[in-house]
Amino acid sequence: MGQAQRRSRRDQEARFQRLFMLSMIGLVGLIVLILGGGVVYEYIIKPNAVVAEVNGHEIRRRDYWKYQSVVLYNQARQYESFAVQTQGDQQQQFLQFAASFDAQRDDVWGSTDVSSATIQQMIEDQLFLDGADSLGVLVSDEEATQYALNQFAPPDAPLITPQPSPTIIPARAQAATETAEALATQQSLALGTPVAGTQQATLVAENGTPIATPVTGDPATPGATPNLDDSLRAAEAEYEIFQDNVFEDANMSQEDYIRLWAKPQLVRQQVIHEITSQVPQTAEQVNAQHILVATEDLANQLYAQATGGADFGALARANSTDAVTAATGGQLGWFTRLEVDPALAEAAFALEPGQISEPIQTDYGWQIVKVNDKQEDRPLSDAQYQLATDEAVETWIDQQREQADISSEYQTTPTVTPGAFAPPAGAPTPIPATPVPGTPTPVEPVVGPQPVTPGSPAASPVAPPVSASPAPATPVVIATPGS
């Protein structure tokens, strides 16, 4: 009996020990499983997660981490370059921005935070790569490697010859010269300085001998010609510094940098060159004036006056809320369809010289436009040509995006908020009046409300209503000829 009890007790203890050991093994296994799962997620699942896909090309999080590290590094260096050009508090602010971007690089690798702007740029990079073939753009890995090195070469001694700009056509060159001369003349008149090409007074000493004009610099000493070997050594040194600062922290190899950054940037550059080289240097343009007001009722009243024979420029000066052009009688100068609101462009280009449009509602208010002249094939100014090339590139990338199969939860569509009306680049600017001594000529007073004091609520293009039923605006009436 006693022996059976002892055996039973030993069996119970052995069973308990077995259960304890099994429990410990299970607990250890669970811990190992949890830790192993965390390791698998941290080093396998998370880095390989797809953050975007473009035409079957997957953009994985590990590539995003590497790309974002380069983006932040470049932003930091850009703010440092700004700091070199400034002083005082602004310089310190730029340096703080640079330090902030550098600090952010430390947190990129392993983070699940994603910059939508960077993802959008990586998507566009792939669109450029996919669409390059259609334009005959082919970039080899060797060319991309040389391009990467060239980014660190001295600006005055590049390792790669820059792509030439499109040859300017003679008509556009002449127009640019005439525009520059007109602007110089206008500025000279405004400042009261002699205009180029006119007879100028020559400074003379008391004895009548002309005073020599000082010459800056030594014209006999030509600038040193950059040495290609020196440029190459400088680029390699800077490239090595860049690699030391970025590659290790970003877990990036040189092959990664070429694949993710250098090659897409070079392809983008060459594609843009191909697109812009096909942009015409002339376009249909109109020369017009406009009046901008806040309400349709006021626009209708002014339209009735303008078409009834009132001077359009006088109406603009007295009523337009566009502070830039009102002083010149609403003059917009020559402009293309791309330079103004689409609704305004549609109305203006449908008119013939001398015609006045009915009131047009735009993002800026209500506008009336009068066309003074029209040319089907007028040379573009530099600003107009830049706008045309930008539009061509934007149109191309939009077409690539529409045709592509893109999936990403991080894409953003910017919301465009219209600002104040901006006249075309060629719009004349008012010249400050220079007081001329003499007897003033009596001027017949203009019938209507007196000018609003600047800074008062009514001076705003769109003044807030003061009551539930605001009184309609009254236009300044301009006397018609013969009235």
Q: What is the pLDDT of residue 443?
A: 34
> For residue 288, what pLDDT is reported?
97
Tokens of 147: 């391009």
DSSP tag of 457: G
Please give the pLDDT value at position 36: 61
Q: Kindly report the number of other CB atoms within 10 A of residue 102's CB atom.
A: 17
The token pair that represents 78 in the structure block: 């850009």
42, 50, 191 from 112: Cα distances, Å: 11, 12, 58
User: Residue 424 has what pLDDT?
Assistant: 73
Q: Work out the burial of residue 426: count CB atoms within 10 Å of its CB; fewer than 13 is exposed, 13-18 middle, 19 or more buried.
A: buried
Long-range contacts of 165-169 (CB under 8 A, 24+ apart): 166/276, 166/277, 166/279, 166/281, 168/281, 169/281, 169/282, 169/379
Quote the pLDDT of residue 455. Answer: 36
**What is the spatial distance between Cα 475 and Cα 448, in angstroms, rounded to a whole number?**
7
Per-residue pLDDT of the chain (483 residues; tens, 9 = 90+): 556 666 677 777 777 777 777 777 777 777 766 666 666 767 689 999 999 999 999 999 999 999 999 999 999 999 999 999 999 999 999 999 999 999 999 999 999 999 999 999 999 999 999 999 999 999 999 999 999 999 999 989 999 988 888 888 888 888 777 766 766 665 665 556 655 544 443 333 334 444 343 444 444 445 556 688 899 999 999 999 999 999 998 999 999 999 999 999 999 999 999 999 999 999 999 999 999 999 999 999 999 999 999 999 999 999 999 989 999 999 999 999 999 999 999 999 999 999 999 999 999 999 999 999 999 999 999 999 999 999 999 999 999 999 999 998 886 555 555 566 667 776 676 554 444 444 333 333 333 333 333 333 333 333 333 333 444 455 555 555 444
Q: What angle in degrees, to the nearest 10, is found between the helix axes of 88-105 and 61-84?
A: 160
The amino acid occupying position 84 is: V
Domains of the chain in start order, with CATH, are 20-167+234-281+383-411 (no CATH), 283-379 (3.10.50.40)
CA 185 to chain centroid, in Å, comes to 31
* pTM exceeding 0.75: no
Q: Would you state the structure tokens that stand for residue 172, as one six-digit string?
A: 């556009």
CB 150 within 8 A of CB 235: yes
- Residue 386 main-chain phi, psi, to 5 deg: -60, -40
* Rounded Cα distance, 400 and 128, in Å: 8
Torsion of CA 349, 350, 353, 358, to 10 degrees: -110
Centroid of chain to Cα 471: 41
pLDDT at residue 227 in the model:
82
